[in-house]
A and B are shown apart, each in its own frame.
Chain A
Amino acid sequence: MSDTAEVKTLVIDGQEVSAVRGQTILEVARENDIQIPTLCHLEGLTDVGACRLCVVEIKGSNKLFPACVTSIYEGMEVSTNSERLQKHRRMILELLFTERNHICSVCVANGHCELQSLAQDLGLTHVRLPYRNPELTIDASHERFTADHNRCILCTRCVRVCAEVEGAHVWDVMGRGINSMIITDLHENWGESTCTRCGKCVQVCPTGALYDKGKIGSDHPKYPDFLPYLNLMREAR
């Protein structure tokens, strides 16, 4: 911490906490063991506020704020778990489930999936909206990995880890809105792309969208914790 750091005090869920200028609500909440659900956020990557699972309420405003990209300020009063927020989070999850094809029982991530666990944590037992059933591709051209677009939630963790940590920037997003797709290079097959075969994207993917061909069946635990560790080691050098 630099000595120009300015300490701020704020209230999260009725608890008085102190923070440093420039920190996000999410960072401060986690430091104080206040759990806010997230999907696109991953420690070690830049935040982009893509999934909106982390929305919180700030006293004095009717709007909802994504905790991962909202900076704290002195005297801020944050509420992270109201009925209203839970309702919105469940709706977001329902939309994610309807948007693509999530067949958990035959998915490699079954039992190790952040989307699935969040649905369970937030008490989702069914989806009230009709499923879209889009026709999507599976890219199995890579020698080691597969990209199954049916399971992608467009969190862009793969894009960010590849660009920011591996430095290869193989992954990107193509299209807009509901037609967005993650692609490798300029929409080349993954197997023919400039992929360095490091596998970081597979480990950070929260769902069964990116997986290791060596892990067959519905048992594909991921280990995204390598990221903060890797960053720490790099800083130490």
Chain B
Amino acid sequence: MSKLKLATAWLDGCSGCHMSFLDMDERLLELAEFVDLVYSPLVDLKDFPDQVDITLVEGAVASVDDEAKIKKIRAHTKMLIAIGDCAITGNVPSMRNPIGPEPILDRAYIENATLQPQIPCVVVPKLLKVVRPVHEFVEVDVFLPGCPPSADTFHTALTAIISGEPLDIPALTRFGA
């Protein structure tokens, strides 16, 4: 059997979900027998590849860049897995939603700045009005909640998905776990 192509993506999240993924430790080697990691913050590749079997996405959709990325990922991925509460509920990044992006940017870059107060607008992507979960933009196939989902959750879920076995996610994890 040829190996599955696995990708991981990082939108508006703290990278904690990726850290927890790495926490699988030596079990990653086991997984590597079944998957090739073709795209990830851990892989030096700039563009999302054309054909990916499984993509794990961390983080909420918070900027125009996140939105473009997730749409591209979806178009090139067979199975999209939302990992962590940020991707699934908006979680911490969505705490700005009741306030809106402008006051947040003001607070960070103007009110609290002592040198050259200005809101960055070059290179950095524009923030969306509200932070939204991934499934509000594209279809998601599997939801793995948790902040972050534990390494065991990752391991059990991925092993089941790769081998096509049934998967009981609420038995493994929950919001905030």
Contacts and interface: CB of A to CB of B under 8 A. Distances in A.
A123 B175 CA distance: 11
15 contacts: A101-B95, A102-B175, A103-B94, A104-B85, A104-B147, A120-B174, A122-B170, A123-B170, A124-B170, A126-B89, A126-B133, A126-B140, A133-B94, A134-B98, A218-B176
Contacts of A133: 94, 97-98, 130
Interface in A70-118: 97, 101-107, 110-111, 116-117
Nearest to A110: B176
A211 to B, nearest CB: 15
B83 to A, nearest CB: 11
Interface of A: 97, 101-107, 110-111, 116-117, 119-128, 130-131, 133-136, 218
Given A103-B85, A106-B95, 12 more contacts: A97-B89, A101-B97, A103-B89, A103-B91, A104-B89, A105-B176, A111-B176, A120-B174, A126-B140, A127-B133, A128-B135, A133-B94
A131 B88 CA distance: 11
B98 A136 contact: yes
Contacts of A127: 89, 133
Determine chain A's interface SS by DSSP, over half rule: loop
Contacts of B136: 130
B109 interface: no
A148 to B, nearest CB: 12
Interface in B139-153: 140, 143-145, 147
Interface in B106-160: 130, 132-133, 135-136, 140, 143-145, 147
B99 interface: yes
Contact of A125 (B90, B91, B99, B169): B169
A134 B98 CA distance: 6
Contact of A107 (B130, B170, B176): B176
